[in-house]
Structure 1
Amino acid sequence: MRDLSKLVKAYDIRGLVGDEMDTEFVREVGAAFALLVGTSVALLHDMRPSSEPFAIAFADGVTSQGHNVIFCGLGSTDLVYYAAGHLNVAGAVITASHNPARYNGIKLCKPGAAPVGQDTGLADIRRTLENGIPEYRGTPGRITRHDLSHDYAAYLRELVNLSHIRPLRVVVDAANGMGGHMVPIVFDGLPLEVTPMYFELDGTFPNHEANPLDPANLVDLQHKVREVGADIGLAFDGDADRCFVVDENGVPVPPSVIVALIATRELVKTPGASIVYNVITSRAVPEIVTEHGGTPARTRVGHTYMKSLMAQEDAVFGGEHSGHYYFRDFWRADTGMLAAMHVLAALGTSDQPMSALVAQYSRYVASGEINSEVADTTATLATIEKHFEGAETDHLDGLTVQLDGGAWFNLRPSNTEPLLRLNVEAADAETMTRIRDDVLALVRGLPAEPSSE
């Protein structure tokens, strides 16, 4: 039996093709998932070389347990959420999202796009795989084909009307991922002059990795936006469920700023609604939500926690620092495409350039996420908390410490590695840098530099 702890992650199943994942394993996952959900499964796959064979194997696993498969072909991860919500069936997409080419994986959801994570199904699937798939003696399920991509596009365009915005010049970097397939369908006929970058579907990612969270993967987009004089640039990750934005000067717009921008739009439609954000989102988000009459609700990092709190609060919208944006009107699932459309609508109904539009939502200076390898994450967190004894702290997700002047930092452990992830925010760059360096010195066992104050 292979080591499933390396494959069954917190929110999905993911591993190296051949070494850790093969068609037989994927077939077994399909069978185990069918046993978990007990219903039909909408199935999609991305453009990686192994994805279509894996999709065929997964479908075989589902039908071997007597359940039907609605095979939707190529599609983004948020397309499977649309299928699961619209058809009220379970969903699966074969993708490794932003991971390098040698990886593949499986993202799953229950009917209505309800999340499947460790506590909501993945642990059960792992146990089934470890115990062996029970023999099924009934009639196998059937496979039907149904392309939902145009229905999905029409639904998004109902949620955000872009037909009357001013014409915009938009550069889109699809990173050879599923954005190259979905953007032409969704943007067709809209007042958008699109300059496409790397729209050719190629799961080997010949131009750059499909991870826009890494600044190195935005360089080409930034250059092209400036070169063509575009109004905005959009970068999608490999499975196109996340979208990152750069302004007309090629400057990246922090996801927290996008969270605040979209939140204000949703609060116009639903006054007083709840907006969910996570512990490392900028404190500008709850401030702006409150100023616009909404109710901010704070949760742990991760889509399972985001969706759970959104359901509990009946929140209209939720956003994370990582570029995941969740919408009540989209079955509380995350969709980079709908987030991009909100941003385009905001820009297209404003006479300001993108840089000026987003400036009102940007109030603080953030460090970005910094990883440190430590021998014992629990002991290190305890040491840091003791060092800052007297400051306001909470343990919603790792350790958050509130400091003077509204500055704060969060240290949280990785789910899978002996790492602590640090995020710092302050009113100015000097304060942020000082706090960042002091905390890193403590975490990494080095003497802290004496304060200049």
Structure 2
Amino acid sequence: MLPKEIFRQYDIRGIVPKTFNQEIACNIANVFGYQIKEKLQKNNPVVSVGRDVRISSDDIFKGVLKGLNDAGCNVIELGHCPTPVTYFSAFHLKTDAFLMITGSHNPSDYNGMKLGIGKSTYHSELITSMYEDFLKYGYREEKEKGSHSTYDIKREYIKWTLEHFKTLKEKINNIDRKITIVLDAGNGVASDVAPEIFKNLGVNVVELYCEYDGNFPNHHPDPTVEENLKDAKDKIKVTNADFAVAYDGDADRIGVVDNEQNVIWGDMLILILAREIAKTIKRPTIIADVKASQVLFDELKKDGINAIMWKTGHSLIKSKLKETNAELAGEMSGHIFFADRYFGYDDAIYSSVRFLESYVNELISGKITKVSDLLRNVPKVYNTPEIRFECEESRKFEIVENLAKKFDEYKKNNKFGVKDIITIDGIRVIFEKGWGLLRASNTQPVLVMRFEATDLNSMNSYKDIFEKELNSL
């Protein structure tokens, strides 16, 4: 049987070997193979399969290969590569479907899958439908098995990227000093791809943990946790680097640290990238998730950019990008999606090159001299990191709904200075000097809070209000 809990909102993920192993992967891939055939009405569809460098990934691949081949699917093995490179294969090779074996930013004993048909990623009901189909049909085999071939997609991805940034390379070569960048791959799949791209663009690369190691011995491969960026910060000090880029385990999430060792969080990264796009596109549309700073939305509006606040979750953001024809989307978790000059999926390596491009263009214009200048005129606010606490799965959405009712009454009665309530994803309560957020995680039995204000006292008071109201429920 398949463990139901591994079928999550955006992907499949479990602990090896307890809830995710070769046999489980084989069963899931088999179901996926038949879903591809049914949706496309095609025999022997072609599926590109990549994998991360976790210790279990090679073994998991064997199960995936068998499951797909038994379903009559032809498999193109991409080997160890970033998740966005597997996505790239769907466009470059025009495969019928894709599957990435990855535990993303989870600890080394996790593994899982991200997958899709055509150029669209599976999420929500499509993921749970695989569990339902397995219960209904079980494991199936075709008389005519699928084939197995290999392809060096990383080489093509690097080639494509360098071809599309020729002008950037020329600009970098004409700058009268060498740009230095620290690249922290966290021993994940960006380890070989990212350094080669940046070196070929003409920058001095300081490599940090750019060796494959599925045990992730140096730090957890999650660049959205500041503690994991400590070594990158230290390298900036020692090397006087212009900035540092860190990637998660499968290279679809980005972290950036400026020359003063300050983290440029996801929302401010979106602001920098959006401003660069606005130089060539009039009134571009930019999407950010509900956890993003109000400063981002205010600054985008001030710059004449159409800003949309949307639900948290990389698959949900990606869908909104397509629906609105936006040029750029992103979220606080470091997923950045470019439709402008790219394919519309989250790619941390591509995003880091676009960040370099933004920096170089501002340098050449003479408007700035260092990366920290990019946000020099952005208003200062105080905000908390994500505050996460466990909550029963059966109660988490009910709690958010009940709190929304309370704050709606407070808005009517002008209590606590509640100005507005945004219910796109959970509740984002707008106060006089800031906002507070409560939302239910889509993937865990967890509630998430975040607060922001123009001064520290207001931020803490909004936090106190939320906590007091939650305790009364």
TM-score tier, shorter chain, comes to over 0.9
The CA distance in 2 between the partners of 1:379 and 1:25, in whole Å, is 33
- Is 1:123 aligned to 2:128, yes or no? yes
Range 172-181 or range 73-82, more displaced: 172-181
Paired letter, 2:423: H
TM-score, normalised to structure 2, is: 0.89
Correspondence for 1:194: 205
Correspondence for 1:33: 32
User: How many aligned residue pairs are there?
Assistant: 442
- Is 1:76 aligned to 2:93, yes or no? no
Correspondence for 1:449: none
CA deviations on 1:200-220 (whole Å, 9 max, x unpaired) are 111111111111111111111
| Mapping 1:42-441, distance limit 5 Å | 42-89=48-95, 90-112=97-119, 114-119=120-125, 121-133=126-138, 135-160=140-165, 161-163=167-169, 164-165=171-172, 166=175, 167-328=178-339, 329-349=341-361, 350=363, 351-361=368-378, 363-374=380-391, 376-388=395-407, 389-390=410-411, 391=418, 392-405=420-433, 407-441=434-468
Correspondence for 2:17: 18
Are residues 196 and 393 of structure 1, via their aligned partners in 2, closer, same or farther at CA, if it must alter by over 3 Å?
same
In the alignment, structure 2 segments of 5+ residues that lack a partner are 38-44, 412-417
Identical residues among aligned pairs (%): 27
Are residues 378 and 64 of structure 1, via their aligned partners in 2, closer, same or farther at CA, if it must alter by over 3 Å?
closer
The CA distance in 2 between the partners of 1:360 and 1:171, in whole Å, is 25
Correspondence for 2:414: none
Are residues 191 and 50 of structure 1, via their aligned partners in 2, closer, same or farther at CA, if it must alter by over 3 Å?
same
The CA distance in 2 between the partners of 1:52 and 1:13, in whole Å, is 17
The CA distance in 1 between the partners of 2:181 and 2:462, in whole Å, is 37
SS state of the match for residue 25, structure 1?
helix
Are residues 144 and 197 of structure 1, via their aligned partners in 2, closer, same or farther at CA, if it must alter by over 3 Å?
same
The CA distance in 1 between the partners of 2:80 and 2:377, in whole Å, is 38
Are residues 362 and 99 of structure 1, via their aligned partners in 2, closer, same or farther at CA, if it must alter by over 3 Å?
farther
Paired letter, 1:385: A
Paired letter, 2:21: D
Paired letter, 1:431: S
4+ runs of 1 displaced by more than 4 Å?
158-161
Contact 1:372 1:444 in 2 (8 A): no
The CA distance in 1 between the partners of 2:376 and 2:130, in whole Å, is 46
Are residues 56 and 379 of structure 1, via their aligned partners in 2, closer, same or farther at CA, if it must alter by over 3 Å?
closer
Paired letter, 1:436: K
Using the TM superposition, give the Cα deviation of residue 58 of structure 1 relative to its aligned residue in structure 2, in angstroms.
0.6
Are residues 291 and 157 of structure 1, via their aligned partners in 2, closer, same or farther at CA, if it must alter by over 3 Å?
farther
The CA distance in 1 between the partners of 2:426 and 2:67, in whole Å, is 38
Paired letter, 2:348: G
Using the TM superposition, give the Cα deviation of residue 79 of structure 1 relative to its aligned residue in structure 2, in angstroms.
0.3
The CA distance in 2 between the partners of 1:227 and 1:441, in whole Å, is 45
Are residues 149 and 418 of structure 1, via their aligned partners in 2, closer, same or farther at CA, if it must alter by over 3 Å?
closer
Using the TM superposition, give the Cα deviation of residue 363 of structure 1 relative to its aligned residue in structure 2, in angstroms.
4.4
Contact 1:149 1:185 in 2 (8 A): no
TM-score, normalised to structure 1, is: 0.92
Contact 2:102 2:113 in 1 (8 A): yes
Contact 2:27 2:67 in 1 (8 A): yes
Range 177-186 or range 333-342, more displaced: 177-186
Using the TM superposition, give the Cα deviation of residue 105 of structure 1 relative to its aligned residue in structure 2, in angstroms.
0.8
Using the TM superposition, give the Cα deviation of residue 142 of structure 1 relative to its aligned residue in structure 2, in angstroms.
1.0
Using the TM superposition, give the Cα deviation of residue 382 of structure 1 relative to its aligned residue in structure 2, in angstroms.
4.3
Using the TM superposition, give the Cα deviation of residue 186 of structure 1 relative to its aligned residue in structure 2, in angstroms.
1.9
SS state of the match for residue 80, structure 1?
helix
Using the TM superposition, give the Cα deviation of residue 371 of structure 1 relative to its aligned residue in structure 2, in angstroms.
1.0
Using the TM superposition, give the Cα deviation of residue 305 of structure 1 relative to its aligned residue in structure 2, in angstroms.
1.4
Using the TM superposition, give the Cα deviation of residue 415 of structure 1 relative to its aligned residue in structure 2, in angstroms.
2.3
Using the TM superposition, give the Cα deviation of residue 71 of structure 1 relative to its aligned residue in structure 2, in angstroms.
0.9
The CA distance in 2 between the partners of 1:292 and 1:419, in whole Å, is 36
Contact 1:175 1:197 in 2 (8 A): yes
Using the TM superposition, give the Cα deviation of residue 342 of structure 1 relative to its aligned residue in structure 2, in angstroms.
1.5
Are residues 442 and 158 of structure 1, via their aligned partners in 2, closer, same or farther at CA, if it must alter by over 3 Å?
farther
Using the TM superposition, give the Cα deviation of residue 84 of structure 1 relative to its aligned residue in structure 2, in angstroms.
1.2
Are residues 187 and 360 of structure 1, via their aligned partners in 2, closer, same or farther at CA, if it must alter by over 3 Å?
same
Are residues 34 and 291 of structure 1, via their aligned partners in 2, closer, same or farther at CA, if it must alter by over 3 Å?
same
CA deviations on 1:312-365 (whole Å, 9 max, x unpaired) are 111111011110000114321001111111111122231421111123346432
Contact 2:27 2:139 in 1 (8 A): no
Contact 1:257 1:362 in 2 (8 A): no
Using the TM superposition, give the Cα deviation of residue 444 of structure 1 relative to its aligned residue in structure 2, in angstroms.
4.4
The CA distance in 2 between the partners of 1:186 and 1:361, in whole Å, is 31
Paired letter, 1:3: P
SS state of the match for residue 333, structure 1?
coil
Q: CA RMSD in A?
A: 1.9
CA deviations on 1:172-231 (whole Å, 9 max, x unpaired) are 111111121221332232221111111111111111111111111111111111122111
Contact 1:310 1:316 in 2 (8 A): yes
CA deviations on 1:409-437 (whole Å, 9 max, x unpaired) are 11001224432100112123332222223
Correspondence for 1:450: none
In the alignment, structure 1 segments of 5+ residues that lack a partner are 447-453
